């Protein structure tokens, strides 16, 4: 497209000139892509997209200005510097997305790295346009300025359309970065071979080839980099990320959808968590005559506690969660405390930060209801909380008329794992009834009621539930054939069948 | 870059480039040469001064005398088991003398702010059906908690929790200790043939009605063709079967070093096969192939054994001379704290000490030249977070196919919590690839810092993510960690039995350094002494 018009007498078409104009186009496209990448990434990782876009674009343009101003100090050999700058842009810009993702969990002052990169790229791009105009000074000045700026601005449009429509949805940020780095480096290398004055630029050629190879390797390894940069794997902007002694807590928000991830696994979405938590709590409490004293294992987000506290009979609620940083996050952050309606700081509530397995074995008590809301049995450590040993300890904490409920993963995706929870509860002498509910962000989800007495059909339900009504409660216990009860083993400490079943089922499900 | 011409700029650039390369190179050299400071931690081990004093003599003559019906000399698993057996049978007039300040022998344990941890033996396999005395003990300790259809039910918390074992093999952790991927046809065939042969040995019952390979081994069949296996090394026997697969041989080597601290070419074929064909754990709920373990390893068991008769144990008492006087036994022991020798006049004595020490304090036993012992180094490494790795998650026992160490066990694997943050890794290295005497010299001469470097580098090679997370490395040297079951060992223990009222009790008599063997010999000696002293009891053997 940079052929020029051979018929036009005042523009002497030549390969070098065409290549230079092509590179102006590529450089501007790439420059804008890097800028968009940095802005998107910043709003993704730091939240508040308006601020991030404004400050990133502002600093980028400012750095371009600084680069243009500095170009006056380049006295000779503009071609060499131009190629060098272009190679540097390819290297820095191309790997910027990958670098920022990888740096995010590691550095304390992420903004320093972010704006450092933005300023560096802006500076280099700013240096390029004046250099280009000077290299083309042998041509008609009026034409040159017009051509260079035209290609520059048209390139910007191409970039701004490609980015949201093609690149982000199909390549993702890391791969997009590398792709444009490759384009950058390729143009720089092409110039070295096309420009007559560039013969003998051996070190530049070598550097160009090395950078090109590096960027191609990065492009190929993007998937792996993406996995390393775990923050990149969330579908929504991350608004909080913290590694505690026990787990990685990540909160994301898109519009009114607040999501909590622990170690990369979704715990709730604020859009539909009421379905999960109403179904977790009310069928159990509604089947206890007078649930005064309630115990929750896990549930450090306080959402199950919120539902428990809706029952007027509840006089005392104890929550045992491993992670003190989790419970204090959900106690002290206004938006999160609003979501759980201050359940963790309610005067009836006692929060205990302890390992549930150990606590259950070392404590005694008579709880009218026990809500077991642990993370899914993804590994052998968490798997211990689903064993007959744990349920035996939990059973000792259950009052004679009490009722226990256990979140038991998806009976649709992992029916063997789901019913293993039931057979393990039965192995410690409890009667069980499984039920399930549809939670859009999770899919079909299951729970098991357990008690040392027959589990009644009828339950009291609270008025004003968004999901649970007396009719709905009855329906939860029906299982279609694809989720129906099947023979399953007992999950023991020394043979954690549940962890294996769970991994098998979800491994297949997620491919 | 204000002013200057391009040449000057280029020179500056070259200079800057050179400076940058120099800085980078220097930094790299610094990073490569300058090692991070070694973690703190002491160098411990069996008390060498006391051991050597025993060898060199020079103890004062007895300055006082005491009388007791029975003396047990040695507070390892055998001596403690003898004391437990006596107490269980209601025999109370006895005393146990231990050289060290702590009982337990090579089943001792340590403890820090993070966890208790083993200093040596760290697990006990589920007991075989023939191990009657051991099962009796395990019931008393609450390890066996009941029966299901007549089959013992073990306490789930004391059975090793899933995941039990993993092997670092070809860049990934896989479950189990035998490689399963990347095998040649030959490897698969040899592994299968070996496994099938071991299963045949395991289920074989001799014409004397005894299993070919039993635990305790005293219950094994005496058929000559089986005992003849003791005439060659395990490596020779494997060669004779035509099993040369390097994968099989590496696994066998791991097993021999793990249980015997000895290379396959020095292990008796009988002992080698016993490792693979002796275990037929008898337990409900499919726990038969599992083992029992605790954060402190077998330190749990010795602590509980000692708890049966706490007032009868005298620590820091070096038994240095055992003689007969008529039908009595005179046991001279040096009380380290009081700096004097006490003579104990007893109606019977059980020498529950390693055989090389027993022959030294009681010359009538002859010498122990045929007994050789494997030296080990054990390191307890405190880490701020759990090790990870590609492949299956952290197991209790973690073994690397690329390291000469035996890998490590995780102290907090059994809890008490489900999820642990910090832990202690117990790392094992038998110094099996050189002569035991030379290895013992190395053990003494190599500095603590050098050992720490070896331990740290071995762990970091497996787990780069532990870099900076190692809080302490506590080293423990065992000069005589365990008896080596070299060819001919089957006859060795039985030829040295003295006449009553002297009794020997030690796993050295079996030639296999296993808890079950030590326990068996302790019980056997205690019952022999009670029979001699006419104390009524029903034998557990």
pLDDT tens-digit map of B331-362: 999 999 999 999 999 999 999 999 999 999 99
pLDDT of residue A142: 83
Chain A residues 245-274 with a CB less than 8 Å from chain B: 245-246
Architecture of A14-230 per CATH?
Up-down Bundle (1.20)
Closest partner residue to A495 among B286, B415, B420, by Cβ?
A: B286
Q: What is the pLDDT of residues A232-259, one digit of tens each?
A: 567 677 778 787 888 888 888 888 899 9
Q: Is A119 exposed, middle or buried (0-12, 13-18, 19+ CB in 10 A)?
A: middle
Give the SS3 label for residue B367.
coil
**C-alpha dihedral sign at A79, A85, A88, A90:** negative
Instruction: Tell me which of A355-369, B31-45, B106-120 is least confident.
Output: B31-45
How far is residue A262's CA from residue A247's CA, in Å, rounded to a whole number? 6
How far is residue A341's CA from residue A336's CA, in Å, rounded to a whole number? 8
Predicted TM-score (pTM) of this structure: 0.78
How far is residue B304's CA from residue A444's CA, in Å, rounded to a whole number? 50
Q: Looking at chain B, how many residues does it have?
A: 541
Mean pLDDT of A165-175: 83
**How high is the ipTM of this complex?**
0.85
Q: Residue A73 and residue B287: Cβ atoms within 8 Å?
A: no
B262: nearest Cα among B435, B78, B392, B437? B435
Residue with tokens 């008329």: A401
Q: Residue B419 and residue A499: Cβ atoms within 8 Å?
A: no
Residues of chain A with CATH 3.40.50.150: 270-510
pLDDT of residue B8: 42
What is A351-406 written as a DSSP string? EEES-HHHHHHH----EEEEEEEPPP--SHHHHGGGSHHHHHHHHHTEEEEEEEEE
Mean pLDDT of B322-336: 96
**pLDDT band, very low/low/confident/very high, at A190 (cuts 50, 70, 90):** confident
B262: nearest Cα among B77, B513, B505? B513
Instruction: Write phi, then psi, for B331 (nearest 5 degrees).
Output: -115, 115
pLDDT of residue A169: 76
Q: Using alpha carbons only, what angle is made at residue B101 by residues B372 and B474, rounded to the nearest 5 degrees?
A: 75
pLDDT of residue B322: 97
**pLDDT band, very low/low/confident/very high, at B495 (cuts 50, 70, 90):** low
Q: What is the mean pLDDT of chain A?
A: 88
Tokens of B301: 């068991």
**pLDDT band, very low/low/confident/very high, at B1 (cuts 50, 70, 90):** very low
| DSSP bridge partners of A349 | A317
How far is residue A190's CA from residue B371's CA, in Å, rounded to a whole number? 78
Instruction: Tell me which of A137-141, A264-268, B360-364, B427-431 is least confident.
Output: A137-141
Residues near B118 by beta carbon (within 8 Å), at least 6 away in sequence? B107, B108, B109, B110, B296, B297, B298, B299, B378, B409, B411, B426
> Helices A388-396 and A415-427 meet at what angle, rounded to 10?
50
Query: Is residue B465 within 8 Å of residue B387, measured between CB atoms?
Result: yes
* pLDDT score of B363 more than 70: yes
Under DSSP, the state recorded for A138 is G
How far is residue A110's CA from residue A345's CA, in Å, rounded to a whole number? 33
Long-range residue pairs from B306-311, CB within 8 A, at least 24 positions apart, any chain: B306/B75, B306/B80, B306/B83, B306/B103, B306/B104, B308/B83, B308/B84, B308/B87, B308/B88, B309/B83, B309/B84, B309/B86, B309/B87, B309/B92, B309/B94, B309/B96
Which chain A residue is nearest to residue B293, measuring alpha carbons? A494
Q: Is A194 exposed, middle or buried (0-12, 13-18, 19+ CB in 10 A)?
A: middle
Closest partner residue to B160 among A387, A494, A499, by Cβ?
A: A494
Query: Is residue B387 within 8 Å of residue B394, measured between CB atoms?
Result: yes
| DSSP bridge partners of B147 | B152
How far is residue A254's CA from residue B287's CA, in Å, rounded to a whole number? 50
Instruction: Write phi, then psi, for A116 (nearest 5 degrees).
Output: -55, -45
A476: nearest Cα among A487, A467, A464, A486? A467
> How many pairs of residues across A and B have Cβ atoms under 8 Å apart?
74
Which chain B residue is nearest to residue A494, measuring alpha carbons? B161
A375: nearest Cα among A274, A504, A245, A265? A265
Shortest Cα distance, chain B CAs vs residue A235, angstroms: 25
Closest partner residue to A355 among B160, B394, B417, by Cβ?
A: B417
Q: Residue A246 and residue B421: Cβ atoms within 8 Å?
A: yes
Chain A residues 293-332 with a CB less than 8 Å from chain B: 322
Residues of chain A with CATH 1.20.1250.20: 14-230
- Give the H or E element holding residue B439: helix B436-445
Locate all alpha helices (DSSP H) within B4-44, ordered by sequence: 6-33
pLDDT of residue A79: 83
Mean pLDDT of B177-195: 96
Largest interatomic CA distance in chain B: 110
Q: Residue A76 and residue B286: Cβ atoms within 8 Å?
A: no
Tokens of B350: 């059980």
Mean pLDDT of A100-125: 84
A409: nearest Cα among A364, A372, A381? A372
Enumerate the active-site residues of A.
373
CATH fold, domain A270-510, is Rossmann fold (3.40.50)
Asked if B287 has any chain A CB less than 8 Å from its own CB, the reply is yes
pLDDT of residue B103: 96
Instruction: Write phi, then psi, for B166 (nearest 5 degrees).
Output: -145, 155
- Give the H or E element holding residue A448: strand A443-451
pLDDT of residue A109: 77
**Cα dist from B322 to A29, A284, B173, B315, B361, whole Å:** 94, 71, 52, 18, 6
How far from chain centre, in Å, is Cα B217? 18
Which chain B residue is nearest to residue A361, measuring alpha carbons? B416
Tokens of A2: 């940079």
Q: Residue A355 and residue B418: Cβ atoms within 8 Å?
A: yes
**pLDDT band, very low/low/confident/very high, at B33 (cuts 50, 70, 90):** low
A247 annotated ligand binder = yes
Best mutation target, B157, B294, B419, B423, to test chain A (most A CBs within 10 A)? B419
Omega of the bond leading into A46 within 30 degrees of 0 (cis): no
């Amino acid at each position: 497209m940079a052929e020029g018009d051979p018929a036009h007498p005042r523009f002497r078409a030549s390969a070098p000139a065409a290549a230079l104009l092509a590179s102006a186009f590529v450089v501007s496209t790439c420059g804008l892509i890097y800028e968009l990448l940095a802005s998107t990434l910043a709003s993704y990782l730091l939240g508040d997209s308006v601020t991030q876009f404004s400050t990133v674009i502002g600093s980028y343009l400012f750095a371009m200005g600084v680069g243009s101003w500095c170009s006056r100090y380049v006295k000779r050999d503009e071609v060499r510097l131009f190629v060098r700058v272009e190679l540097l842009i390819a290297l820095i810009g191309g790997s910027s997305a990958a670098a920022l993702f990888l740096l995010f969990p590691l550095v304390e002052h992420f903004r320093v790295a972010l704006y450092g990169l933005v300023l560096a790229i802006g500076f280099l791009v700013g240096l390029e346009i004046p250099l280009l105009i000077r290299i083309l000074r042998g041509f008609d000045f009026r034409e040159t300025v017009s051509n260079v700026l035209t290609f520059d601005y048209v390139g910007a449009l191409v970039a701004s359309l490609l980015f949201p429509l093609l690149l982000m949805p199909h390549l993702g940020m890391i791969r997009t970065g590398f792709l444009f780095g490759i384009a950058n480096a390729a143009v720089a290398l092409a110039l070295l071979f096309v420009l007559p004055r560039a013969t003998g630029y051996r070190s530049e050629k070598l550097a160009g080839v090395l950078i090109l190879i590096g960027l191609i390797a990065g492009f190929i390894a993007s998937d792996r980099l993406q996995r390393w940069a775990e923050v990149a794997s969330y579908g929504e902007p991350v608004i909080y990320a913290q590694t505690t002694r026990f787990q990685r807590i990540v909160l994301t928000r898109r519009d009114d959808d607040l999501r909590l991830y622990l170690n990369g696994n979704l715990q709730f979405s604020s859009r539909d968590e009421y379905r999960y938590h109403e179904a977790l709590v009310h069928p159990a409490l509604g089947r206890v005559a007078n649930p005064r004293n309630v115990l929750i294992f896990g549930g450090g987000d306080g959402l199950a506690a919120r539902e428990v506290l809706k029952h007027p009979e509840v006089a005392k609620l104890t929550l045992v969660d491993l992670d003190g940083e989790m419970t204090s996050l959900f106690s002290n952050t206004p938006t999160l405390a609003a979501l759980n309606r201050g359940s963790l700081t309610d005067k009836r509530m006692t929060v205990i930060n302890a390992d549930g397995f150990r606590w259950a074995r070392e404590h005694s008590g008579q709880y009218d209801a026990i809500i077991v809301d642990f993370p899914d049995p993804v590994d052998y450590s968490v798997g211990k909380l689903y064993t007959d040993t744990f349920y035996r300890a939990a059973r000792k904490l259950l009052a004679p008329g009490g009722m226990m409920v256990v979140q038991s993963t998806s009976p649709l995706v992992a029916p063997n794992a789901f019913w293993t929870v039931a057979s393990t509860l039965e192995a410690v002498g409890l009667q069980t009834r499984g039920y399930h509910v549809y939670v859009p962000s999770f899919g079909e989800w299951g729970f098991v009621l357990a008690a040392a007495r027959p589990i009644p059909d009828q339950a009291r339900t609270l008025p004003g539930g968004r999901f649970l009504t007396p009719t709905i409660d009855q329906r939860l216990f029906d299982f279609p054939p694809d989720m129906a009860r099947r023979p399953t083993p007992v999950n023991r400490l020394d043979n954690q069948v549940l962890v294996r079943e769970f991994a098998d089922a979800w491994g297949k499900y997620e491919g | 870059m204000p002013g200057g011409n391009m040449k000057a700029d280029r020179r500056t650039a070259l200079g800057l480039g050179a400076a940058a390369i120099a800085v980078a190179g220097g930094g790299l050299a610094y990073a490569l040469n300058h090692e991070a400071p070694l973690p703190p931690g002491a160098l411990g081990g069996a008390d060498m001064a006391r051991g050597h004093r025993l060898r060199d003599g020079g103890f004062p003559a007895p300055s006082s005398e005491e009388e007791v019906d029975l003396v047990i000399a040695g507070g390892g698993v055998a001596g403690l088991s003898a004391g437990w057996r006596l107490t269980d049978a209601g025999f109370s007039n006895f005393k146990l003398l231990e050289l060290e300040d702590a009982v337990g022998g090579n089943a001792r344990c340590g403890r820090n702010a993070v966890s208790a941890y083993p200093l040596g033996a760290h697990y006990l396999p589920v007991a075989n059906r023939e191990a009657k005395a051991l099962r009796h003990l395990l019931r008393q300790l609450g390890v066996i908690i009941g029966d299901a259809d007549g089959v013992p039910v073990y306490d789930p918390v004391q059975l090793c929790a899933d995941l039990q074992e993993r092997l670092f093999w070809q860049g990934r952790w896989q479950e189990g200790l035998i490689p399963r991927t990347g095998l040649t046809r030959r490897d698969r065939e040899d592994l299968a043939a070996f496994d099938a042969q071991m299963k045949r040995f395991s289920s074989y019952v001799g014409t004397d009605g005894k299993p070919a390979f039993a635990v305790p081994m005293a219950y094994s069949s005496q058929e000559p063709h089986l005992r003849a296996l003791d005439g060659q090394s395990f490596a020779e026997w494997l060669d004779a079967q035509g099993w040369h697969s390097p994968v099989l041989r590496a696994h066998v080597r791991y097993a021999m070093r793990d249980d015997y601290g000895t290379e396959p070419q020095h292990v008796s074929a009988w002992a080698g096969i016993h490792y693979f064909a002796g275990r037929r754990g008898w337990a409900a709920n499919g726990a038969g192939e599992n083992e029992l373990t605790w954060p402190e390893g077998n330190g749990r068991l010795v602590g509980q054994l000692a708890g049966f008769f706490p007032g009868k144990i005298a620590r820091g008492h070096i038994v240095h001379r055992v003689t007969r006087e008529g039908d009595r036994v005179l046991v001279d022991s040096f009380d380290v704290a009081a700096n004097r020798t006490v003579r104990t006049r007893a109606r019977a004595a059980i020498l529950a000490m390693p055989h090389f020490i027993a022959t030294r304090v009681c010359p009538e036993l002859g010498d122990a030249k045929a007994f050789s012992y494997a030296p080990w180094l054990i390191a307890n490494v405190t880490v701020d977070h759990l090790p990870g790795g590609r492949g299956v998650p952290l197991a209790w026992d973690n073994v690397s196919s690329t390291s000469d160490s035996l890998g490590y066990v995780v102290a907090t694997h059994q809890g008490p919590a489900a999820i642990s943050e910090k832990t202690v890794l117990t790392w094992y290295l038998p110094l099996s690839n050189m002569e035991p005497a030379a290895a013992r010299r190395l053990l003494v001469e190599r500095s603590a810092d050098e050992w720490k470097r070896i331990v740290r580098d071995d762990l970091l090679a497996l787990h780069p993510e532990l870099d900076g997370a190692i809080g302490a490395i506590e080293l423990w040297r065992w000069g005589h960690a365990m008896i080596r079951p070299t060819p001919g060992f089957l006859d060795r223990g039985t030829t040295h039995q003295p006449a009553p009222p002297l009794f020997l009790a030690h796993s050295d008599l079996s030639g296999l350094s296993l808890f079950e063997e030590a326990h068996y010999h302790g019980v056997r000696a205690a019952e022999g002494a009670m029979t001699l002293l006419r104390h009524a009891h029903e034998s557990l053997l």
